[in-house]
Every structure is written in structure tokens, then in C-alpha cells.
Amino acid sequence: MKRVKLTNTHLILFILTFISTLMAGSIMDGGNPLSNFSDIYLGIPFSLTLMLILGCHEFGHYYYALKHNVDATLPYFLPAPPYFFIIGTFGAFIKIKSPIYRKDALLQIGAAGPIAGFIIAVPSLIIGLLLSEVIFINDQYQGIILGDSLLMKLFTAIIFPDLSEGYDVLLHPIAFAGWIGLLVTMLNLLPIGQLDGGHIAYAMLGGKQELIGKIALFALFPLSFLSLNWLVWGLLILVLMRSAKHPPIQDILTPLSRKNRYTGYLCLLIFILCFIPTPFQI
């Protein structure tokens, strides 16, 4: 494996993202760190959980890139103004700096991130739900209503089996970070372009990925009738990637091993478990 240099840019972005997620978590928990800086400690549970999920996701990609002798950077974290963007970050990414020639490498690099993030997000969600409280929802209640994935429904039913009509779960910041982790995992697994799901779909399906990618991309626009979030994400993908097609790699004809195919099927299962038809409602 090659040694990769930790740059000042990595450190500055990490620190800024940590601070912005701290502030976001503090605001969620009722603090106001701008007027009372001591409130910043309220954001620690959310910030640490979310940073761990995002970090493990990107280090999953990074580890397998180096394992396959693909030149890649350490993760870049992207801060966001917490008063503008509720979670305080736009996520994280690594930059692949050399071509990926083999299908097995493409699949493993693409799959490692979502699987690693999922492994951290699930226990985070469970722990956070155990710390959450049930509240009564009336007409005067104001807040963001989060959509449910199959996993969210399952864990909520297990932890709060007697949830009555008119009541809902007010998520602990750790649970919210876990929920964000599942959402990020689901979005990255869309089989479009050079998203993680695009890498996996291309390794699994070859040239058929282009059709699957186009179907998935255009499906985001009807979904926008359920939630405008899908329209924003669809337009963002179009702007950043400009195509649903994954770029070709050299070794497309070599069959994947059974283990790698099972890894691809596992990612499909994770996508289904994490899929949220209506992510946010106000």
C-alpha cells in the first residue's frame, strides 16, 4: 500500500466540519452557541456520531483503493453553515487519482464505503432510539418530520411497541445522526454514474448499467411529488455527473467471483432497507 500525505487542507476541512456539526447538534438540542458558547457541548453526541459514520464510509473506500493499488486521497470533509444547512456538513469524499482497471477492484472500492458507514449507522440509530423520547403531536407542533426506512420502522416498532396514535418519537441527536447515515448510504447506492451504486452496478452488470442508471435518475423526478428533496438531489446529480452512465473500465469481461457478486447483492439489500420515499416533511 502507498503512503498518503495528510495535508493542511484535510486538517482544516476536518476541523471546520467538526465545529459546524458541533454547532448544528447544539442548535438541535436547544442551544445557541453563537450567543452562549458554552452550549457548544450539547452538539457533541450528534457531531461525533455523524463524523464517525462519514469517516468510516470514506475510509472504507480509501482502504480498498490502496489495497488494489489505486491512488486515492485521504477523506475531505465538507463543512456547511449550521444555520443554513441543518446537519452542518455536506458530507465527505475521497479523490481517486488513478484509473481503476479491474471489475473486482471497482466493486470492492465502491461497496466498501456504504457497507462501512452502514455498520456504524445501524448501532448508532439503535442506541439513539433507546435514548429518544415519545412526545404528543398536536396542531401547534412545529418541526421537521423524518421519513421512515424499513430499518427505521423495524427498530421503532421494537423499541416503542406501544406507540399510540397522535404520539411520535422525538429523536435523540445520536439517533438523528444514525438516520442521516442511513440516508447518505441510500443516496450513495443509487446506481447512477460514479456514485458508489454506479460503481457496483457497472461491475455487476457491465454495459446494462447505463439503462439502470437512466431509469434510477429519471425515477427521482416522479419521487419529487412525494418530497422535493428528490428533485434537488436529481438536479445535483445531473449537474455534477452530467450522465447516468458509468465510464468504461479496461477489464470489463472478466467474471466477478461469487464473493464479489454476494457483496453486490448485499449492497442492494442495504439500499432497500435504507430507502426512504419521503425523507423530510415540514
- Per DSSP, the chain holds a count of helices (H) and strands (E) of 9, 6
Domain boundaries, the chain: 8-281
Rounded CA-CA distance 102/260 in Å is: 12
CB 132 within 8 Å of CB 46? no
For residue 156, report the phi and psi dihedrals to the nearest 5 degrees: -65, -40
SS3 107: helix
Rounded CA-CA distance 85/229 in Å is: 13
In this prediction the pTM is 0.92
SS3 279: coil
- Buried (b) or exposed (e) across 36-62, using 16+ Cβ within 10 A? eeebbebbebbbbbbbbbbbbbbbbbb
Handedness of CA 19, 24, 28, 30 (dihedral sign): positive
CB 189 within 8 Å of CB 196? yes
Rounded CA-CA distance 77/181 in Å is: 15
Other beta carbons less than 10 A from residue 265's beta carbon: 12
Per-residue pLDDT of the chain (282 residues; tens, 9 = 90+): 555 677 889 999 999 999 999 999 999 888 888 888 888 999 999 999 999 999 999 999 999 999 999 999 999 999 998 866 789 999 999 998 888 889 999 999 999 999 999 999 999 999 999 999 888 877 666 667 788 999 999 999 999 988 877 788 889 999 999 999 999 999 999 999 889 999 999 999 988 998 999 999 888 888 888 878 888 888 888 777 777 888 888 887 788 899 999 999 999 999 999 999 888 766
Euclidean distance between the first and the last CA atom of the chain, given in angstroms as a whole number: 47
